[in-house]
Amino acid sequence: MTKVSLIANKAMTYATRRLQAGDEFLASERDATILTYAKKAKRQRVPGRVDAPPASVLARVAPSEPGTEPEADTTANEPAENEPAGQPATPASRRRRKPRV
């Protein structure tokens, strides 16, 4: 019989113990299923092991050297050729479109 780690959702009694919301306790697999379905408790999350990415993914990602940062794109703050110099250029996604007729 395996034991499952649970967290109480509400105050309750389990195995002659008074539990408050947020208390951790161990229960059998069968009891854990019943308590989970009745929303009296939830299973405690156990972090899993994550393997290294495959070599094909590592080959696509270029390692960066410490202290080197990519240069910022300064062309976004410059006004477009057809807009006045005093007003900032609006991105194409924010420009109003002409209504369809």
DSSP code per residue over 16-54: TEEE-TT-EEEEEHHHHHHHHHTTSEEEPP-PPP-PPPP
What is the residue extent of each domain of the chain?
3-43
* Higher-scoring residue by pLDDT: 50, 94: 50
Residue 14's Cβ-side half-sphere holds a number of Cα atoms within 13 Å equal to 22
Q: Which of 20-29, 46-55, 68-77 has the highest mean pLDDT?
A: 20-29
Asked whether the predicted pLDDT for residue 80 surpasses 60, the reply is: no
By the 8 A CB rule, do 42 and 6 touch?
Answer: yes
pTM above 0.85, yes or no: no
pLDDT in tens, 45-62: 878 878 888 888 888 876
Q: What is the DSSP letter of 14?
A: E
